[in-house]
Amino acid sequence: MDNTILKAKNITKTYPNGVKALDDISFEIKKGEFIVVIGPSGSGKSTLLRSLNKLIDLTSGSVTIDGEEILNKKGKNLRLLRRKMAMIFQHYNLVYRLSVMQNVLHGRLGYMTNINGVFGNYSEEDKLKAIELLNEIELGDHIYNRAGDLSGGQKQRVGIARAIMQDPQIILCDEPIASLDPSSSKIIMDIIFNMAKKRGITCIVNLHQIDVAIKYATRIIGLSKGKIVFNDVAENLDNKTIETIYNTSIDNLMINGALKTM
């Protein structure tokens, strides 16, 4: 059976003001891959990610997830699709006044009936799963704290836990470490990478740190002005390509770590 979990064909997104954020993009993603999308601001990274779970509607083209076309999904079907695809945000997107545990349990809302979800009637098994998960990422001590009381790195860990609770097939990460300090950034990337690997979850991550991309990615996709200019394994990313993506000489870019030169 085909190992492809996501297939994007000729997708285009043109905003009402005429800006073409995505210009006829096609790519395929296999199960278990850790894809990192890099590119300057405005290249369409965020638009691409958000179009995969229909937060943004595409102007044309098709996206197939696990064999299902997402274009026409609405209402209940859309929710069923979304619970298969978790998302981690740059600004964590938690409900700050609720406890850490409640935020993590939100991941199960897609699997619960309307009434149960509204009243927070989570099953005991779900609660146990949440506890195990929080223990694994070392947030056990904060389980009853308000999510808003945590530090940035801790909040993102809650976000990750919420994503994992969904039992997703794919996790989308929109600049997950952009708001974090270097040490928290490493912790978060390690957690995302290891959790995904352990559970066989495919990841698509937006980053603007090229060195981080090279370190974790099985494959890198480089976007520039809405088009794909690189779609290959990390080892093959060379300086020349980076210069094309960011449209400037390598000396003008702040990159740490070793890069292969052609």
Residues that bind another protein (CB under 8 A): 53, 55, 79-80, 82-83, 85-87, 89, 91-99, 101-102, 105-107, 109-111, 114, 117-120, 122, 124-125, 127-128, 131-132, 134-135, 140-141, 143-146, 159, 162, 166, 172
Alpha-carbon torsion (140, 143, 147, 148), positive or negative: negative
Q: At what angle do helices 152-165 and 124-136 cross, to 10 degrees?
A: 140
Residue type, 193: F
62 versus 99: smaller Cβ distance to another protein:
99
70 versus 101: smaller Cβ distance to another protein:
101
Q: How far is the CB of 257 from another protein (least distance, A)?
A: 31
Q: How far is the CB of 105 from another protein (least distance, A)?
A: 6
79 versus 260: smaller Cβ distance to another protein:
79
Q: How far is the CB of 111 from another protein (least distance, A)?
A: 8
64 versus 99: smaller Cβ distance to another protein:
99
102 versus 184: smaller Cβ distance to another protein:
102
130 versus 214: smaller Cβ distance to another protein:
130
Q: Cβ distance 151 to 159 under 8 Å?
A: no
Q: How far is the CB of 226 from another protein (least distance, A)?
A: 23
Residue type, 196: A
Alpha-carbon torsion (134, 197, 160, 186), positive or negative: positive
Q: How far is the CB of 190 from another protein (least distance, A)?
A: 22
Q: Which residues contact 123 (CB under 8 A, 6 or more apart)?
A: none
Element (H, E) at 173: strand 170-174
Q: How far is the CB of 65 from another protein (least distance, A)?
A: 14
For the stretch 26-58, what's the b/e string if a residue is b when 16 or more beta carbons lie within 10 angstroms of its beta carbon?
ebebeeebbbbbbbbeebbbbbbbbbbbbebeb
Q: How far apart are CA 35 and CA 52, in angstroms?
A: 14
Structure tokens at 108: 């199960």
Q: How far is the CB of 106 from another protein (least distance, A)?
A: 6
Q: How far apart are CA 85 and CA 147, in angstroms?
A: 23
116 versus 241: smaller Cβ distance to another protein:
116
Q: How far apart are CA 51 and CA 95, in angstroms?
A: 23
Q: How far apart are CA 109 and CA 4, in angstroms?
A: 27
Give the total residue count for the chain.
262
